[in-house]
Amino acid sequence: MGRLERSFVIVNSLGLHARPAAMVVQASNRFRCEIQFEKDGLQINAKSIMGVLTLAAARGASVLVICEGDDAEQAMAAIGKVFESGFGER
Amino acid sequence: MGALLDDQKFDLRLVLVAGARGLSRKVSSARIQKPGLALAGFTEYLHRERIQVFGNTEMSYLKTLPRERRLEVLQAFFAQDVACLVVTKDIEIPEDVTAAGEAAGVPVLRSSHLSSTFIENIQSFLEDQLTASTSMHGVLLDVLGVGILLLGKSGIGKSEIALDLVMRGHRLVADDIVEVKRRTQDAVVGAGSEIIKHHMEIRGLGIINIKDLFGVAAIRERKKIEIVLELCEWDPEVEYDRLGVDDRKFRILDVEIPMLVVPVRPGRNMTTIIEVAARNHLLKLQGHHSAREFQERLNRAIALPSEGGGGGTEVE
């Protein structure tokens, strides 16, 4: 059982809007571990789209990703990739 | 402090007059203070963490003072490092007051309400802002007037069950993120988050708006949480409650709430089970505990085996 924490900054201009949220949630759902996102004291389940949307993270906002479970490492890598790519947007 | 000015819900009608640089100050007490005597020099009981309210009395008193004395009094007042000062009834605030507030970096605000109305509103506002709160992953519904919080892993079908309950005429409070606040010592109230309010995500359908689809009667802004119902996958190794005699509790913000753990399995109609759980809760509120009453009945029957000849016949 591992627990990993890493911060990511939203880089695309539109922020974490609906489509990117769906991308992140899909990435999260491929793993068994518990994944939480945290922003401004609000912690949500990264496997649910409504939760991710609630963050309303704009460009420049920092989101803390917490993975806990067997495949935490792989999950963090996959989610990190999605964040760092700016959700395939500019 | 900033939240005071932004508020819409509690109708505070506040305008900032001076001391903007003190807006980051924190009010940590839900009580307010009418300084009264503090203006006469008795500043010992002045509470810096409270909002100070000047009404007609304070303002008129200040007016009666010679200017020199007035400045002295105001300086002593602001030197106590109070959180902020609110003048009510839209009374014109003299230059002396605003200058002293500005110098001390204490926000001076004005409200058009009468002192009594303002105090009432600000108190509700402060209680709302200062109470313990948290957010939870789950779905909150009003089922027959009972607030039921559904918990369980992502993908277990919470939203689908909630949708089914809405179809049956029950009301959705929040899907997925439930913002929970403690209202009184033993009550917690849940509401939806501002952004996703009244929306739900159903796999395969996407995001749907419950209010538009089912009307206003299908939703509710907030509801006291009365039952926590955890959905879990059916595990043959786990023993589920078969009697319901012992009441389990779930703690949210230090408040104990009755809890049920219900296994999900194809063929178990979860909507019906949840509706019955709500009915059973209502019965308990009325003083009827089905499981315990049944147990007592059984115990009586066992204790009186020979009477009536039939073994378990009711004696009453």
Check the CA dihedral B268-B274-B279-B284 and report its sign: positive
pLDDT of residue B307: 56
Share of chain B above pLDDT 90, in %: 34
pLDDT of residue B195: 85
pLDDT of residue B305: 67
**What domains are defined for chain A?**
2-88 (3.30.1340.10)
- For the question of residue B137 being annotated catalytic, the response is yes
Residue with the bigger pLDDT between B2 and B294: it is B294
Residue with the bigger pLDDT between B1 and B216: it is B216
Q: CA B234 → CA B203, B237, B266, distances in Å?
A: 21, 9, 10
Strand pairing of B146-151 and B133-143? Answer: antiparallel
Residue with the bigger pLDDT between B45 and B312: it is B45
B274: closest CA among B227, B225, B240, B314? B227
* pLDDT over 60 (residue B316): no
Residues in contact with A85: Cβ distance below 8 Å, sequence separation at least 6, in sequence order = none
pTM over cut 0.80: no
For residue range B261-279, list pLDDT tens digits in order.
999 888 788 999 999 999 9
pLDDT of residue B125: 85
Q: What whole-number distance in Å separates Cα of residue A36 and Cα of residue A63?
A: 10
pLDDT of residue B306: 58
- Catalytic position from the list A11, A12, A14, A17: A17
**pLDDT band at residue B128 under the 50/70/90 scheme:** confident
* pLDDT over 70 (residue A1): no
Does the beta carbon of B196 lie under 8 angstroms from any beta carbon of chain A? yes
When pLDDT is averaged across residues B149-163 and rounded to a whole number, the result is: 90
Does the beta carbon of A18 lie under 8 angstroms from any beta carbon of chain B? yes
When pLDDT is averaged across residues A60-80 and rounded to a whole number, the result is: 93
The SS3 assignment for B195 reads coil
Asked if A51 and B177 come within 8 Å (Cβ–Cβ), the reply is: yes
pLDDT of residue B5: 78
Q: What whole-number distance in Å separates Cα of residue B169 and Cα of residue B183?
A: 27
E-assigned strand segments in B55-186 = 84-87, 108-111, 133-143, 146-151, 171-184
Residue with the bigger pLDDT between B298 and B47: it is B298
pLDDT of residue B284: 92
Does the beta carbon of A33 lie under 8 angstroms from any beta carbon of chain B? no
Q: Which helix (H) or strand (E) holds A62?
A: strand A62-69
Asked if B176 and A48 come within 8 Å (Cβ–Cβ), the reply is: yes
Q: What whole-number distance in Å separates Cα of residue B96 and Cα of residue B68?
A: 10
pLDDT of residue A76: 94
Q: What whole-number distance in Å separates Cα of residue A59 and Cα of residue A50?
A: 19
B119-158 residues touching A, CB cutoff 8 A? 135, 137, 154-155
- Helix A72-84 × helix A18-28 angle, to 10°: 160
Check the CA dihedral B153-B154-B155-B157 and report its sign: positive
Burial class (CB in 10 A: 0-12, 13-18, 19+), B192: buried
Asked if B155 and A47 come within 8 Å (Cβ–Cβ), the reply is: yes
Does the beta carbon of A38 lie under 8 angstroms from any beta carbon of chain B? no
How many Cβ atoms from other residues are within 10 Å of residue A58's Cβ?
A: 12
Asked if A49 and B155 come within 8 Å (Cβ–Cβ), the reply is: no
State chain B's mean pLDDT as an integer. Answer: 87
How many Cβ atoms from other residues are within 10 Å of residue A30's Cβ?
A: 12
For the record, the structure tokens of B168 come out as 């049956």
When pLDDT is averaged across residues B279-297 and rounded to a whole number, the result is: 91
Q: Which residues in chain A are closer than 8 Å to B154, comparing Cβ atoms?
A: 29, 45, 47-48
Does the beta carbon of B180 lie under 8 angstroms from any beta carbon of chain A? no
Q: What whole-number distance in Å separates Cα of residue A73 and Cα of residue A60?
A: 25
**pLDDT band at residue A37 under the 50/70/90 scheme:** very high
Asked if A44 and B155 come within 8 Å (Cβ–Cβ), the reply is: no
**pLDDT band at residue B257 under the 50/70/90 scheme:** very high
Share of chain B above pLDDT 70, in %: 96
